[in-house]
Chains A and B, each alone.
Chain A
Amino acid sequence: MIKPAAPPAPADPASAAIPAPPAAPAPALPKVLEQIDWASKHYLIVDDFAGIRQLLRESLRSLGARNIDQASSGGEAMNLLNKVRYDVVLCDYNLGEGKNGQQVLEEARIRQLLLPSSVFVMVSAEKSVESVMGAAEHQPDAYLVKPITEGVLLSRLNRVWRRKQIFRLIDQAFVEKDYLRAAQLCDEQIATNRVHVIELLRMKARMLERSGQPARARMVYEQVLAQREYHWARAGLGKIRLADGDFEQARQMFQTVIAENRHYIDAYDQLAHAYQGLGRHEEAAAILERAAKLSPNSVPRQRNLGQAALKLGNVALAEKAFRKCLVIGEYSIRKTPDAYLGLARVCGLKNNTKDALQLLLLAQRDFGSEHDDMALRAKITEGLIYHESGDYRNARRAGDELDTMLGADPKRPGTAICIEMATLLFAVGVKETPGEVLAHVVRNNHDNNLLQDDIQAIFDKARLTEEGAAIIRAARKEAVDLMNQGVVLWKTGKLPEAVKWMRMASERLPDNVRVLFNAVQITISHMQQCGYDEALEAEARTLLEHVDRLQPGQQRFAQLMEQLRGLQPKPEPEPPAVVAEGEAETPAPEPVEPSEPAATPARNNRFS
């Protein structure tokens, strides 16, 4: 047991006795009850059983609540959530046909229909696997197991509310992706709030990981484990090992967690990664299959299982996973085109080209509007299916169509899709375009040698070893030159030109993490010297958010976010301070190769 140093408001044992009835006011209700104004809040009750809706409504009325809406299905709940910003949502997990409670929660969170202060309580008939911490990505604020009684409901609501207050600023910093501030706010709360100290440490470790400081995150996990064996802390250590490429150590840690708690689903997903890192793909798929059995209603998990099985050539397992993914995706905001494309591949492998093409059409119809690379991906899959089934004439036709599409639109999809596309195009006999696509990939990953080796291998396979090597060299040089020119402009004090140059560079290399970081760094430099500029700040934030999607958990991301926050004008704005050049401790963009001798010794205090 932990004995907190600062006790919460103590109750005198003698005075806590419950007086005998009939003179019995509500006993032992917490003091905060008086402080939280439950009466004025807006409530939504979601349950398919009318009796429970009525019971909950009565319970809320006895708290004084006046604004209580009800829904008997997930769809109805979504309609109401669309219109009203509720303070409290009480939602049953099992809602019969249609969306379940978890899907209501996920959609409401992803579409931002809940206020940060909203309380979402999931009600279920029995303790579910999903309720064990770490199972679901989107957690409700509280779980309640039926039967629900008024007293317990109130007690939990009060607790969630207090917790929300403690985490309010931390959550806000997290949503704003200001991970360093979030971690610092955790520290402040830890100092004064002994009751939530473990939960705060968990949050702090997460923030340290997100801000690219695994060593510090590890210390937090170890500090927690010294007190008690928390599965999430052990799994956290495993994840850090995983990120370091220490797959064997990571594997052992995740297995320890699973042996201790079979329902800690996150550990399964991570263990699968460890196995993949070790090259043990059969075992990775087997672990994903076990996780999918324990918690079958997760779209991403079924998708990962399907893709792992497809890679192994286990068509039956892949088909099962992708089909399940389609079924659970029907009512889920997390439904994904990957399941359609994957199932189309499965159909192709089973020589059922007709169904495969039908699925590709469906994918474009259902996802075309929100995924702008959908048509490309469908065409790639079509080519793959024909190619795998030995129909080389149709495969070549799909390849030519893809070639035309690429010619019409200069925008290129992400790295993985580009590589898939180039491989296919070479395989079906298209010669020019795949080289151009691969050059795009190299430009955007000019410092990733492993990836460049893979790309060289693709050229080798297409019998284009020499040409490929030249393309890779040229692409890498272009990226390096673009970056260096920006740094030179910055160092010579030509800040507006540097900003302009880096804007051009990040349009040319839209997925190059280092270029984007430098673009942001130079923009910040410019604002530090010439004053805050709303448009520039927005531009920098857009770039950073893109980087965080490409490669989450970068330390430079967290640092640049913190610098951006520091630039925001105070309530009463002062005229921008004019700083003499050379005096300011200005962070410098990261130079690429060891270029010309530095004009300013700025590297040392880059992130002061």
Chain B
Amino acid sequence: MEDSPHSPELFLFLAVTAHDMKNSISVLSGTLERLLDGATPETEKAYAQMGQMLYQTRRLNDNLMQLLALYKQVGKPGYPFDAQPLEVGQVVEQVVALARVLLEARGVQLELYVDPDLIAHVDEDLIVGVVSHAVNNALHYTRDRIRLAAREVDGELEIRVEDNGAGFPPALLAAGTPDGSDMGVNFVTNSAGLGLYFSSEVARMHHHRGRHGAVRLENGGLLGGGCFILTLP
């Protein structure tokens, strides 16, 4: 890539390695999904552990994806950003498909409130990645319910991921305010910060007539736990 400060060899090496890792993660998570899908806690002794393995594989995948996307300069003009009109239902469908087995393994109920008429203008891969990362995150903190809602608010698309867990810690809440773009989140001690940073960058890339997308975190919502809120113009 023309603006990359790195040597072409290093870039090629990283690209090939990343490709390889993605293949491995695909196989790993596909195999786990299949095993879990064919099993129940009664028939499979290690059901809970397998659920945990799938969850961790997904985390690995999310982190790798975010790392690569940020390395490839998501949020900068250099990223091959490509927003297309898309039914919001299609985004949600993919998020649900990605989360289904894990939700079942964890005994968590996902409730959908999606306005089926909505059409969004999004970079599909990025937005599906952001929302499913939020769902994965909620999966870790929720007690037993997650609510995924999409609706139009003031001409913008709002996607909310809410749970009934204990909510976000104050440090993360502060980072997730609209003014907190200069977040000062410590990526070393707070791995959730990377996801949030990535999500904000992706949101910001979506713009229309001077308005940009944004991400914010709240506690409360309809389920009384953490709320991840993505708005897109």
Chain A positions within 8 Å of B, measured between CB atoms, are 1-4, 7-11, 13, 16-22, 24, 26-30, 49, 51-52, 54-55, 58-59, 62, 94, 125-129, 131-133, 145-152, 154-156, 159, 194-195, 198-199, 228-229, 261-263, 290, 293-294
CA–CA, A59 and B113, complex, Å: 28
List residues of chain A with CB within 8 A of the CB of B29. Answer: 147, 149
Q: Is B53 in contact with chain A by the CB < 8 A criterion? A: no
CA–CA, A174 and B219, complex, Å: 54
Q: Which listed residue, B24, B89, B96, touches A18 by the CB 8 Å rule?
A: B96
Q: Contact check, B97 vs A147: say whether CB atoms are below 8 A apart.
A: no
Q: Contact check, B97 vs A3: say whether CB atoms are below 8 A apart.
A: no
List residues of chain B with CB within 8 A of the CB of A151. Answer: 94, 96-98, 100
CA–CA, A49 and B27, complex, Å: 10
List residues of chain B with CB within 8 A of the CB of A28. Answer: 92-93, 96-97, 112
Q: Contact check, B40 vs A58: say whether CB atoms are below 8 A apart.
A: no
Interface segment, B117-125, B160-168, B180-188? B117-125
- List 4 tightest A-B contacts by C-beta distance, closest first: A151-B97, A147-B26, A125-B19, A21-B104
Interface segment, B77-85, B170-178, B191-199, B220-228? B77-85
List residues of chain A with CB within 8 A of the CB of B155. Answer: 1
| Residues A17 and B109 in contact in the complex (CB < 8 Å), given A3-B117, A27-B96, A150-B33 | yes
| Residues A13 and B23 in contact in the complex (CB < 8 Å), given A21-B107, A131-B82, A152-B98 | no
Pairs A–B under 8 Å by Cβ, sample size 23: A1-B120, A1-B157, A4-B117, A7-B117, A8-B89, A16-B111, A28-B96, A29-B93, A29-B97, A51-B26, A59-B30, A126-B18, A127-B72, A127-B80, A127-B82, A146-B26, A147-B23, A147-B61, A151-B97, A152-B94, A156-B94, A195-B119, A290-B2
List residues of chain A with CB within 8 A of the CB of B156. Answer: 1
List CB contacts (< 8 Å) of B133-163 with chain A: 144, 152, 155-157
Report the nearest A residue to B109, measured CB to CB. Answer: A20
Q: Contact check, B87 vs A52: say whether CB atoms are below 8 A apart.
A: no
Q: Contact check, B25 vs A147: say whether CB atoms are below 8 A apart.
A: yes
Q: How far is the CB of B200 from chain A (nearest CB, A)?
A: 19
Q: Contact check, B97 vs A149: say whether CB atoms are below 8 A apart.
A: yes
| Residues A195 and B96 in contact in the complex (CB < 8 Å), given A1-B152, A147-B25 | no
CA–CA, A8 and B116, complex, Å: 7
- Secondary structure of the A contact surface, majority rule: loop
Q: Contact check, A146 vs B104: say whether CB atoms are below 8 A apart.
A: no
List CB contacts (< 8 Å) of B53-106 with chain A: 61, 68-69, 72, 77-82, 84-85, 87, 89-90, 92-94, 96-98, 100, 103-105
Report the nearest A residue to B118, measured CB to CB. Answer: A1
List residues of chain A with CB within 8 A of the CB of B85. Answer: 2, 195, 198-199
| Residues A146 and B97 in contact in the complex (CB < 8 Å), given A4-B117, A20-B107 | no
| Residues A132 and B82 in contact in the complex (CB < 8 Å), given A1-B152, A27-B100 | yes
List residues of chain B with CB within 8 A of the CB of A29. Answer: 93, 97
Report the nearest B residue to A196, measured CB to CB. Answer: B85
Q: Which listed residue, A9, A17, A148, A198, touches B111 by the CB 8 Å rule?
A: A17
Report the nearest A residue to B99, measured CB to CB. Answer: A151
Flag B15-48 by CB within 8 Å of A: 1 or 0 each.
Answer: 1001100111111011101100000110000000
Q: Contact check, A263 vs B80: say whether CB atoms are below 8 A apart.
A: yes
List residues of chain A with CB within 8 A of the CB of B30. Answer: 55, 58-59, 148-150
Q: Which listed residue, A11, A27, A131, touches B110 by the CB 8 Å rule?
A: A27
Beyond the given A147-B23, A261-B82, please list 17 additional residue pairs across the A-B interface where CB-CB is below 8 A. A2-B119, A18-B103, A20-B144, A21-B103, A26-B100, A28-B112, A52-B27, A58-B34, A94-B19, A127-B82, A129-B80, A133-B82, A147-B25, A149-B97, A152-B98, A152-B128, A155-B97
Q: Contact check, B109 vs A19: say whether CB atoms are below 8 A apart.
A: yes
List residues of chain A with CB within 8 A of the CB of B40. Answer: 22
CA–CA, A443 and B121, complex, Å: 52
Q: Contact check, A127 vs B96: say whether CB atoms are below 8 A apart.
A: no
Q: How far is the CB of A164 from chain B (nearest CB, A)?
A: 16
Q: Contact check, A17 vs B119: say whether CB atoms are below 8 A apart.
A: no
List residues of chain B with CB within 8 A of the CB of A21. Answer: 103-105, 107
List residues of chain B with CB within 8 A of the CB of A194. Answer: 119
Q: Which listed residue, B15, B23, B72, B108, touches A52 by the CB 8 Å rule?
A: B23
Report the nearest A residue to B111, measured CB to CB. Answer: A17
CA–CA, A19 and B105, complex, Å: 13
Q: Contact check, A228 vs B208: say whether CB atoms are below 8 A apart.
A: yes
CA–CA, A19 and B108, complex, Å: 9
Q: Contact check, A1 vs B121: say whether CB atoms are below 8 A apart.
A: yes
List residues of chain B with CB within 8 A of the CB of A133. Answer: 82, 84
CA–CA, A126 and B22, complex, Å: 9
Q: Contact check, B94 vs A155: say whether CB atoms are below 8 A apart.
A: yes
List residues of chain B with CB within 8 A of the CB of A4. Answer: 117, 119
Q: Contact check, A11 vs B114: say whether CB atoms are below 8 A apart.
A: yes
Q: Contact check, A152 vs B97: say whether CB atoms are below 8 A apart.
A: yes
Q: Contact check, A150 vs B116: say whether CB atoms are below 8 A apart.
A: no
Report the nearest A residue to B31, measured CB to CB. Answer: A55
Q: How far is the CB of A201 from chain B (nearest CB, A)?
A: 11
List residues of chain A with CB within 8 A of the CB of B109. Answer: 17-20
CA–CA, A60 and B145, complex, Å: 31
CA–CA, A511 and B68, complex, Å: 53
List residues of chain A with CB within 8 A of the CB of B121. Answer: 1, 228
Q: Contact check, A149 vs B24: say whether CB atoms are below 8 A apart.
A: no
Q: How far is the CB of A468 from chain B (nearest CB, A)?
A: 48
Q: Contact check, B96 vs A261: say whether CB atoms are below 8 A apart.
A: no
List residues of chain B with CB within 8 A of the CB of A155. Answer: 90, 93-94, 97
Q: How far is the CB of B99 from chain A (nearest CB, A)?
A: 8
List residues of chain B with CB within 8 A of the CB of A125. Answer: 15, 18-19, 22-23
List residues of chain B with CB within 8 A of the CB of A16. Answer: 111-114
List residues of chain B with CB within 8 A of the CB of A228. Answer: 121, 208
CA–CA, A262 and B78, complex, Å: 7
Report the nearest B residue to A4, measured CB to CB. Answer: B117
Q: How far is the CB of A183 from chain B (nearest CB, A)?
A: 20
| Residues A18 and B112 in contact in the complex (CB < 8 Å), given A127-B80, A149-B97 | yes
| Residues A24 and B104 in contact in the complex (CB < 8 Å), given A51-B27, A146-B22, A151-B96 | yes
Q: Contact check, B110 vs A18: say whether CB atoms are below 8 A apart.
A: yes
CA–CA, A131 and B81, complex, Å: 10
CA–CA, A132 and B114, complex, Å: 28
Report the nearest A residue to B152, measured CB to CB. Answer: A1
Q: How far is the CB of A218 from chain B (nearest CB, A)?
A: 21
CA–CA, A202 and B125, complex, Å: 22
Q: Contact check, B27 vs A126: say whether CB atoms are below 8 A apart.
A: no
Q: How far is the CB of B164 from chain A (nearest CB, A)?
A: 13
List residues of chain A with CB within 8 A of the CB of B114. Answer: 11, 13, 16
Report the nearest B residue to A12, measured CB to CB. Answer: B116
Report the nearest B residue to A124, measured CB to CB. Answer: B19
Q: How far is the CB of B124 from chain A (nearest CB, A)?
A: 9
CA–CA, A52 and B111, complex, Å: 32
CA–CA, A18 and B97, complex, Å: 12
List residues of chain A with CB within 8 A of the CB of B118. Answer: 1, 3
Q: How far is the CB of A379 from chain B (nearest CB, A)?
A: 40
Q: Which listed residue, A146, A148, A195, A199, touches B87 by the CB 8 Å rule?
A: A195
CA–CA, A149 and B208, complex, Å: 31
The interface centre, meaning the residue of A7, A8, A49, A290 with most chain B CB atoms within 10 A of its CB, is A49
